[in-house]
């Protein structure tokens, strides 16, 4: 038999991805073999080391990476400048989220569900030691195991995080649609589970997980149908092959545009762009807050990284046909996010609607098939991610005896009791509103100007109006914190542990830095374009 030649693999280029996924596998083994009380420190150490090492490897490689990028692993992965930037973004945001996830000081034992033994000893029905579904939520909320024991948590959340992170990294680098689909599933499945792991308000959390799972499966199906149609059109699932096929053939465009439509629906779902946003508020509210932070920051990066790549590489030449439709989607998203955010009374839901509005703004950047559009989008993702992580970090600190106090009325008068926390929150909300000297302003400016120079002036006007409306509900929180009377049984502000402190500080500092001196990061974001 003639030997087959294996595809060449540029290990240096994909090393960060391999490190994260490898660490995820090791993390499963840690779950399997270490005794319960050693798991938390081991998992935290492993995850932190893995992300840091991956980051260093990425930095070393990026230092002298070819400007036009490399395509490796048998043309399934494109490691180009946007990929490197997105990987870096995902790793730092993942690091921040991981710190929030690992924190055990704010909530005794962490925000995630208590480990099975504790729940069993807390009086759950016998015989249902596995799976959260068998546990009576009444009991979990009251007791954390035998008296005197330090409460522990279900440490599976660490491999989940690493797998999801690895999936996101593969997602933004995928050079063909099948790889992209596999990566989509790898990033989604752990997220579904993480949603259902909240220690408090178990039913809400599980409901969110099931909703997310069902709708996510629905969206995956759309994505896969789209891939099938595009394969039928181009005879290949490679992004560049689709672009080549679209130029100068007389094949039926119905397959091309039908495929694009279904594909993009799947991607827009992940990015929580309206009108495919319906899961977002429920899931953001129900999921444990650190997991929400992870989803809001990293999933957004992954989804928009992939949208930008697909539109840029595979559909750049046909943009005049699809752009009108995405205009409508972007407008819908901005309007839904900005207007419905006004009526929200739960802080996490409000941030969810804010993220829907932001998704609309981001879509503007991805629609501009230009260098400026790409770099603006990348910058926006980084800036938004850090702000969001810090916001959720702060939300996790304001608590009553029943857990987090996310109802807006509970935040009234918070500035009187904790001026520092209120001040930081105010700054972050101003960043979300896009006030100058915060990263939010620079990011909006970069994206809007890119959209403007690519002929989307009316859309930019809509975006400006939407951000003007959205600013109102951010400021409402500020007013509540500063100008309202404190309710008698108001929440207390926990003293954050080291992990949460670092995560929030990181978010705030980056938000400020990117607002005051964004040049360096803008340069990185603009270092090179997508390779197909």
Query: For residues 105 and 220, which CB has a smaller minimum distance to other proteins in the complex?
Result: 220
Measured CA to CA, the distance from residue 431 to residue 477 in angstroms comes to 13
| Closest approach of other proteins to the CB of residue 461, in Å | 6
Q: Which of 64, 147, 324, 401 binds other proteins (CB under 8 A)?
A: 324
Measured CA to CA, the distance from residue 101 to residue 291 in angstroms comes to 7
User: Which of 360, 293, 249 is CA-nearest to residue 106?
Assistant: 293
Measured CA to CA, the distance from residue 412 to residue 267 in angstroms comes to 38
Binding mask 67-106 for other proteins (x = CB under 8 A): ----------------------------------------
Residue 1 engages other proteins in binding (rule: CB under 8 A)? yes
Centroid of chain to Cα 14: 21
* Contacting range for other proteins; rule: CB under 8 A; set: 89-97, 295-303, 439-447, 492-500: 439-447
Q: Which of 77, 224, 303, 430 binds other proteins (CB under 8 A)?
A: 430
| Closest approach of other proteins to the CB of residue 371, in Å | 7
Cβ neighbours of residue 221 under 8 Å, at least 6 residues apart?
A: none
Q: Is 112 helix (H, G, I), strand (E, B) or coil?
A: strand
User: Which of 390, 408, 375, 381 is CA-nearest to residue 496?
Assistant: 390
What is the Cα gyration radius of the chain? 23
The answer to whether residues 195 and 285 touch, using CB atoms and an 8 Å cutoff, is: no
Span 402-421, contacts to other proteins by CB under 8 A: 408-409, 412, 419-420
Residue 11 engages other proteins in binding (rule: CB under 8 A)? no
Q: Is 72 helix (H, G, I), strand (E, B) or coil?
A: strand
Q: Which of 480, 503, 506, 508 binds other proteins (CB under 8 A)?
A: 480
Query: For residues 70 and 210, which CB has a smaller minimum distance to other proteins in the complex?
Result: 210
User: Which of 191, 165, 174 is CA-nearest to residue 88?
Assistant: 165
Residue 475 engages other proteins in binding (rule: CB under 8 A)? yes
Measured CA to CA, the distance from residue 59 to residue 505 in angstroms comes to 23
| Closest approach of other proteins to the CB of residue 322, in Å | 6
Angle, alpha carbons 33-291-181 (nearest 5°): 85
Residue 317 engages other proteins in binding (rule: CB under 8 A)? no
| Closest approach of other proteins to the CB of residue 148, in Å | 25
Cβ neighbours of residue 184 under 8 Å, at least 6 residues apart?
A: 167, 171, 220, 223, 266, 270
| Closest approach of other proteins to the CB of residue 304, in Å | 17
* Backbone angles phi and psi of 75, in degrees to 5: 60, 25
Number of residues that bind other proteins (CB under 8 A): 104
Write the DSSP symbol of residue 70: E
Span 236-295, contacts to other proteins by CB under 8 A: 253-254, 257-258, 260-262, 264-265, 269, 275-276, 278-279, 281-282
* Contacting range for other proteins; rule: CB under 8 A; set: 79-87, 98-106, 445-453, 496-504: 445-453
| Closest approach of other proteins to the CB of residue 409, in Å | 6
Measured CA to CA, the distance from residue 116 to residue 131 in angstroms comes to 8
Q: Which of 181, 294, 353, 361 binds other proteins (CB under 8 A)?
A: 353
Q: Which of 371, 486, 494, 505 binds other proteins (CB under 8 A)?
A: 371
Residue 448 falls in which region: left (phi positive, over 0), alpha (psi -120 to 50) or beta: alpha
Largest CA distance in the chain: 82
Residue 63 engages other proteins in binding (rule: CB under 8 A)? no
| Closest approach of other proteins to the CB of residue 370, in Å | 10
Span 105-134, contacts to other proteins by CB under 8 A: 127-131, 133-134
Span 152-211, contacts to other proteins by CB under 8 A: 210-211
Span 19-58, contacts to other proteins by CB under 8 A: 25, 28-29, 31-33
Query: For residues 12 and 437, which CB has a smaller minimum distance to other proteins in the complex?
Result: 437
């Amino acid at each position: 038999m003639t030997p087959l030649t294996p595809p060449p693999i540029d290990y240096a280029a994909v090393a960060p991805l391999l490190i994260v996924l490898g660490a995820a596998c090791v993390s499963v083994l840690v779950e399997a073999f270490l005794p319960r009380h050693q798991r938390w420190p081991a998992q935290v150490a492993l995850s932190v080391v893995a992300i840091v090492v991956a980051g260093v490897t990425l930095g070393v490689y990026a230092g002298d990476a070819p400007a036009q990028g490399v395509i490796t692993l048998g043309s399934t992965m494109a490691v180009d400048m946007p990929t490197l930037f997105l990987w870096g973004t995902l790793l730092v945001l993942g690091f921040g989220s991981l710190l929030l996830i690992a924190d055990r000081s704010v909530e005794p034992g962490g925000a995630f569900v208590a480990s099975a033994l504790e729940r069993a000893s807390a009086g759950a029905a016998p015989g249902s030691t596995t799976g959260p579904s068998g546990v009576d939520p009444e009991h979990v909320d009251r007791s954390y195991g035998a008296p005197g024991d330090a409460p522990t948590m279900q440490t599976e959340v660490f491999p989940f995080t690493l797998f999801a992170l690895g999936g996101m990294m593969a997602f933004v680098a995928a050079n063909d649609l099948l790889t992209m689909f596999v990566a989509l599933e790898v990033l989604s499945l752990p997220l579904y589970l993480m949603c259902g792991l909240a220690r408090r308000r178990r039913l809400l959390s599980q409901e969110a997980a099931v909703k997310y799972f069902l709708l996510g499966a629905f969206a995956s199906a759309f994505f896969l149908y789209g891939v099938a149609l595009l394969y039928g059109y181009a005879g290949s699932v490679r992004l560049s092959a689709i672009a080549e096929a679209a130029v100068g053939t007389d094949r039926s465009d119905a397959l091309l545009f039908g495929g694009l439509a279904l594909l993009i629906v799947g991607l827009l779902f992940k990015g929580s762009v309206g009108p495919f946003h319906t899961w977002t508020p429920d899931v953001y509210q129900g999921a444990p807050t650190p997991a929400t932070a992870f989803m809001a920051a990293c999933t957004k990066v992954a989804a928009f990284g992939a949208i930008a790549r697909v539109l840029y590489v595979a559909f750049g030449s046909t943009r005049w046909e699809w752009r009108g439709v995405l205009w409508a989607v972007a407008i819908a998203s901005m309007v839904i996010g900005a207007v419905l955010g006004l009526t929200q009374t739960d802080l996490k839901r409000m941030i969810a609607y804010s993220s829907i509005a932001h998704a609309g703004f981001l879509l503007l950047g991805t629609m501009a098939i230009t260098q400026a559009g790409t770099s603006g989008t990348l910058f926006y993702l980084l800036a938004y991610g850090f702000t969001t992580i810090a916001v959720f970090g702060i939300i996790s600190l304001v608590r009553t005896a029943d857990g987090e106090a996310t109802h807006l009325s509970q935040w009234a008068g918070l500035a009187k009791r904790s001026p520092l926390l209120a001040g930081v929150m105010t700054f972050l909300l101003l960043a979300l509103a896009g006030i100058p000297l915060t990263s939010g302003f620079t990011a909006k400016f970069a994206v809007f100007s890119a959209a403007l120079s690519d002929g989307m002036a009316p859309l930019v006007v809509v975006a400006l109006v939407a951000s003007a409306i959205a600013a109102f509900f951010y400021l409402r929180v500020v007013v509540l914190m500063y100008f309202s009377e404190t309710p008698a049984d108001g929440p207390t502000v926990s003293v954050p542990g080291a992990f949460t402190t670092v995560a929030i500080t990181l978010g705030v500092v980056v938000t400020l830095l990117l607002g005051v001196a964004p040049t360096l990061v803008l340069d990185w974001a603009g270092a090179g374009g997508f390779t197909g």
